[in-house]
Every structure is written in structure tokens, then in C-alpha cells.
């Protein structure tokens, strides 16, 4: 590829790894993908990672992507980071982390979340204020946990960042976030587009510790610092975009937003399971995270903690391959191995019921798939209503689900979602939609173009259409009955 062609780097900094996609800015083609792992530590609800490892992994992944793409470093014109949401990064005077980051799936802050939810008018007032009711995942609850359990760290903090904020700052030197990722903190007002002073007062967080909020994730916030350019092996002239959260970047990669598809639902099957859609309606539903999108629209989202990793754990326990599953039949599994976020059961453990002497282990694994898929899909109707749609209307009911994430590549996952949803599915042909969405943000920072329009032109959200099959109402109702009976007695 000639040096005059523009290559942009989209970074997906997730819970488990950093992935850097070197993308042709004209076509959206992924030229190469670099990877480097992250380490997650903790037990009994604790989940932490060292942000310095995120930075090292990002640098290694970017170097690998540029090397494997076979392009000169001078071809790279822009970079953007999409990061795991909600994590709490606390910085000291030297700009480096004071302690490991508290991750989105760290549930130790559940008591703090519950206490916060009762304040400022109670749970009903929070969605209108910040878009979401505080739960253990939200950053505000994690900051409150730190204040109560490690006050020496809270007192020594000179900067509070989300994971993608921290990496963007390491790249550019700019302390900046975007509306999308900021909306997952519970201290950002989705109605006002600014930090909520009442929430900050409530949790004792000085707004001077927070990054500025850029207009969008595609806003150019600077270029690479000399240190970052040297570590990544790229020119200092590379534009750095504000970046965003991973779910917001996936929406961009799918072409969802003001310049693309609105009110089209997505199911993402990864470490967490999510259902979301881009909409112009500001959501205020207690059961959903009422996020902002990164392009000025909104991104209501339902999130579960237990998805592919939980089902894989059942496969390991049963000694089965992950694809060696059969319908659960009378067996019901609620695979809440890490507590649960939707429904809000942070202290739950996994539950298996309906076993007999003759139960086929493959049915137990199939029931784990069903329990995880049910938990994600149960939020779908509420999501559609939050977009101002009638979930029972034929044109809404027949609107296809876009199925993404690692699970979307598995037959058992795809068929389980298809059977329990009764909806047509679109399986996008493009992999690495979070990294592609970040690449579109990087291209937007270089050219000033709308990143959703760019991704739509790239065609990264198109793919195979699977027609609907009749919804398995019997299985759905059986799981719903067990969940209702077990809450709160067995799941609290």
C-alpha cells in the first residue's frame, strides 16, 4: 500500500485483551489485527486490572498490527480507543495509577450502589437525571466503595478516569472523555450533557479530578505525545480521537446512529451480554442503562454479567465441548456465577434445577445457554419501549436482531438466541466491530467526517440474514417461572 494511503488504528481495550485493528480509512478493510492479553485478578466479587498493563498491551498490539499490515508507519494518520466501560482508574500526582483499576464486573460496590440509589429522590429519579439507576457496575458506586474501604487512596487521588480515558490521555496528553463512556458513570447528566453537581457532591468527588467531555468520540483531542509516538513506533502527527466505551464503538461499527440505523436492536454475546439500540429518544427506564451514544444520539442498553464465560464454565464442569449442547428440556440453569446486573442480583450464585438420574449432560449445558440467552433477551422489550416503540407491533417484532460478539460465531449460541427470541437474526460479516467502530472514530478525527456515516459506507454492519423460527414459549416460560420463584430467596 502506498504511503499516501490513509490507515487508521482502532483499539478495542476489553476486559481480557487489547486488540488493535489497522484499517484502510477509505474502505474499512482490516489490514491486520494485533493482540495482547490483559490480566484480571480478584475473587469473592473483586475484579481488578493494572492499567499499566493495558498501556503495554495497547502498544504491543498497535506495533503488531502495523507490522503485520505491511504498511509504513507514515501511512497511519489517526488512532482511537474504545474501552471497557465503568472501570475506575485513580491517578496520582505523576499521572500514573495509584492502585489497580476496579473493573465493571467488580460487585463489591453493590452496597454502595444500593445506598446511592435511595438518595436524590430515590431510584425513580435517577434515570431522568443520569440515565441509569446506580448498580454495582457503575463508576459512582466504585468511587464510593473506594472512599469507604480505601480512604487513603481516595484522598491521594489527583485524577479520576475511565479505562478508555486513561489510555487516550497516555496517547495524547489530553484529559478527556466522551458523552458515551461518561454516561456510564452515574455522575454524568444525560439530560444536561454535563457532570451532575448534585451527584458529585453526594459522592464527594471534586469535578476538578474529572476529564473534560468532548463533543463526540470522533473529536480530535490532539496528536501523539513524543513518548507515545516512540512506544507505538508511529509519527507524532497521528491524530488522536476522544474515543468512547466499547458498546458505543460497537454501535458505530454497525452503522447505528444519527447518520445510520436508528431503533434497530443489537444483541452482543461476550464476557457480558448486552442488548442495545441507537435512538433519538432519551431513555429513562429503571431496568436499563440509559447511555448516551458517542454521536449525539442515545444508546439505551441492558447488560448481564454472565454470558459466554459462564456458559463455557458449565461446559468445562461437564467435560463437554462448548458446542456439544442439547435443548435443556426440564432442566433450568440460571448461570449467575458472578452475581448479576440485569436482573439486579449482585450476590447471586448459579442455580441448576430439574435434574433427574437420566438427565443428559448435554441438556444441562443447553440449559446454561438458555438461561444466559433468556437473561439478555428479557431486556429486549423494555429496550424497544425505551426507544418509543411498541414491542408487539408487527413491524417492530419482525425487525431483525443484529447478533455480535464472540458468541455470535458459535452455532449453539446463535440457535439458542434464534429459538428464544423468535426473531430474524443478522450476523454481520465483519469481525472486531468494537475495533472497527474505534477506527471510524479515528478516521472522523482525521477528516472531520461523521463516523457512523463512514462505517455505513464501509458496510461493516451488513451480513447474513437468518429467518425467524417459532419462539420456544415453553422454555421461555419455564425459565421465567424459576427466576421468579428463586428471587430473592435463592439468589440474594
Answer for the pair 156, 150: CB distance below 8 angstroms, yes or no: no
CA distances from 103 to 161, 179, 275, 396, 425 (A): 12, 19, 20, 35, 31
Separation of alpha carbons 66 and 370, rounded Å: 40
Separation of alpha carbons 303 and 258, rounded Å: 23
Separation of alpha carbons 369 and 332, rounded Å: 10
Separation of alpha carbons 127 and 486, rounded Å: 27
Closest Cα partner for 103 from 188, 19, 177, 42? 42
- Return the beta strands (E) in 167-238 as ranges: 176-177, 188-189, 194-195, 212-213, 220-223
3-class secondary structure, 413: helix
Q: Which three cell numbers stand for residue 320?
A: 463437554
Q: Which three cell numbers stand for residue 190?
A: 444525560
Alpha-carbon dihedral of residues 148, 151, 155, 161, nearest 10 degrees?
Answer: -60
Closest Cα partner for 255 from 43, 463, 478? 463
Closest Cα partner for 140 from 94, 193, 182, 93? 182
CA distances from 389 to 6, 94, 256, 471 (A): 40, 49, 17, 20
- Choose, from 178, 246, 295, 338, the residue flagged as catalytic: 246
Separation of alpha carbons 310 and 352, rounded Å: 13
In the annotation, is 246 catalytic?
Answer: yes
Catalytic residues: 246
Amino acid at each position: 500500500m502506498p504511503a499516501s494511503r490513509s490507515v487508521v488504528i482502532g483499539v478495542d481495550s476489553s476486559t481480557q485483551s487489547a486488540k488493535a485493528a489497522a484499517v484502510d480509512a477509505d474502505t474499512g478493510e482490516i489490514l491486520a489485527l494485533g493482540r495482547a492479553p490483559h490480566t484480571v485478578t480478584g475473587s469473592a466479587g473483586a475484579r481488578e486490572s493494572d492499567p499499566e498493563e493495558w498501556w503495554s498491551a495497547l502498544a504491543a498490539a498497535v506495533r503488531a498490527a502495523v507490522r503485520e499490515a505491511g504498511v509504513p508507519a507514515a501511512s497511519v494518520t489517526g488512532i482511537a480507543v474504545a474501552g471497557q466501560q465503568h472501570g475506575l482508574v485513580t491517578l496520582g500526582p505523576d499521572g500514573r495509577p495509584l492502585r489497580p483499576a476496579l473493573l465493571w464486573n467488580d460487585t463489591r460496590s453493590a452496597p454502595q450502589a444500593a445506598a446511592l440509589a435511595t438518595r436524590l429522590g430515590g431510584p425513580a429519579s435517577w434515570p431522568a437525571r443520569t440515565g441509569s439507576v446506580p448498580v454495582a457496575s457503575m463508576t459512582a458506586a466504585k468511587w464510593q466503595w473506594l472512599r469507604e474501604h480505601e480512604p487513603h487512596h481516595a484522598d491521594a487521588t489527583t485524577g479520576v478516569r475511565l479505562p478508555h480515558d486513561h489510555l487516550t490521555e497516555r496517547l495524547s496528553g489530553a484529559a478527556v472523555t466522551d458523552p458515551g463512556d461518561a454516561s456510564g458513570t452515574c455522575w454524568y447528566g444525560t439530560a444536561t450533557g454535563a457532570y451532575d453537581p448534585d451527584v458529585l457532591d453526594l459522592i464527594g468527588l471534586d469535578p476538578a479530578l474529572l476529564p473534560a467531555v468532548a463533543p463526540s468520540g470522533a473529536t480530535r483531542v490532539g496528536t501523539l505525545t513524543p513518548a507515545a509516538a516512540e512506544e507505538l513506533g508511529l509519527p507524532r502527527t497521528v491524530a488522536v480521537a476522544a474515543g468512547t466505551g466499547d458498546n458505543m464503538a460497537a454501535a458505530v461499527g454497525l452503522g447505528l446512529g444519527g447518520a445510520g440505523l436508528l431503533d434497530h436492536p443489537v444483541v452482543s454475546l461476550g464476557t457480558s451480554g448486552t442488548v442495545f439500540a441507537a435512538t433519538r429518544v432519551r431513555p429513562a427506564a429503571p431496568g436499563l442503562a440509559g447511555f448516551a451514544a458517542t454521536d449525539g444520539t442515545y444508546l439505551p442498553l441492558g447488560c448481564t454479567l454472565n454470558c459466554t464465560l459462564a456458559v463455557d464454565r458449565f461446559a468445562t464442569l461437564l467435560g463437554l465441548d462448548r458446542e456439544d449442547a442439547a435443548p435443556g428440556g426440564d432442566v433450568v440453569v440460571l448461570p449467575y456465577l458472578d452475581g448479576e446486573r440485569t436482573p439486579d442480583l449482585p450476590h447471586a450464585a448459579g442455580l441448576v434445577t430439574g435434574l433427574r438420574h437420566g438427565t443428559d449432560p448435554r441438556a444441562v449445558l443447553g440449559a446454561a445457554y438458555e438461561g444466559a440467552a433468556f437473561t439478555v433477551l428479557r431486556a429486549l422489550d423494555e429496550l424497544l419501549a425505551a426507544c418509543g416503540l411498541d414491542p408487539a407491533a408487527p413491524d417492530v417484532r419482525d425487525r431483525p436482531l443484529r447478533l455480535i460478539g464472540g458468541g455470535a460465531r458459535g452455532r449453539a449460541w446463535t440457535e439458542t438466541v434464534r429459538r428464544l427470541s423468535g426473531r430474524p437474526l443478522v450476523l454481520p460479516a465483519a469481525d472486531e466491530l468494537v475495533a472497527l467502530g474505534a477506527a471510524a472514530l479515528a478516521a472522523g478525527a482525521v477528516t472531520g467526517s461523521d463516523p457512523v456515516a463512514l462505517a455505513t459506507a464501509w458496510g461493516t454492519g451488513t451480513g447474513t440474514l437468518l429467518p425467524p423460527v417459532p419462539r420456544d414459549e415453553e422454555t421461555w416460560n419455564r425459565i421465567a417461572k424459576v427466576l421468579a420463584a428463586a428471587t430473592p430467596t435463592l439468589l440474594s
